[in-house]
Amino acid sequence: MTSRLNPYLTFNGNAREAMEFYRSVLGGELRLNTFGEFGTPDPEIKDKVMHAMLTLPDGNTLMASDTAPGMDFNPGNTITVSLSGTPDGNLHDVWSKLTEGATVTMPLEKQMWGDEFGQLTDRYGVPWMVNIGQQ
């Protein structure tokens, strides 16, 4: 299976600041994408972080975003397990198994960035994001 588990942090509008801090502490390469880059015209969120990825020198990854529109920010519940990989792995099967007894908040389907992506909270209350990248 070609996949990785990554912690995914959620912030209340200060994801850019937090991720730049983590980069200064941990090193590595930081990539940021804003809601505006993905077509959101709302001036209140267009410069907020839709997705940030800090790739550490050892290959580990820390991901983050600002709270998405329409979602609540709940301190203490701001981490999600992110499972990323390629179609040659078994991530479709993993997604199917994770959905058993889960609450699917976003079905696994092709997204505007080209990958398949889905979100759910599993039967134990753990939030998951699954992203299946293109070859």
Q: pLDDT tens, 32-56?
A: 999 999 888 888 899 999 999 999 8
Q: Which residues of 58-87 are buried (b: 16+ CB within 10 A; e: fewer)?
A: eeebbbbbbbeeeeeeeeeeeebebbbbee
Q: Domains, the chain, ranges and CATH? A: 3-132 (3.10.180.10)
Q: pLDDT tens, 55-98?
A: 988 788 989 999 987 888 887 777 888 888 888 778 898 899 99
Q: Which amino acid appears at position 113 of this protein?
A: W
Q: Is the pTM of this model over 0.75?
A: no
Contact 85, 133 (CB under 8 A): yes
What is the spatial distance between Cα 25 and Cα 66, in angstroms, rounded to a whole number? 20
Phi, psi of 46 (to 5 degrees): -60, -30
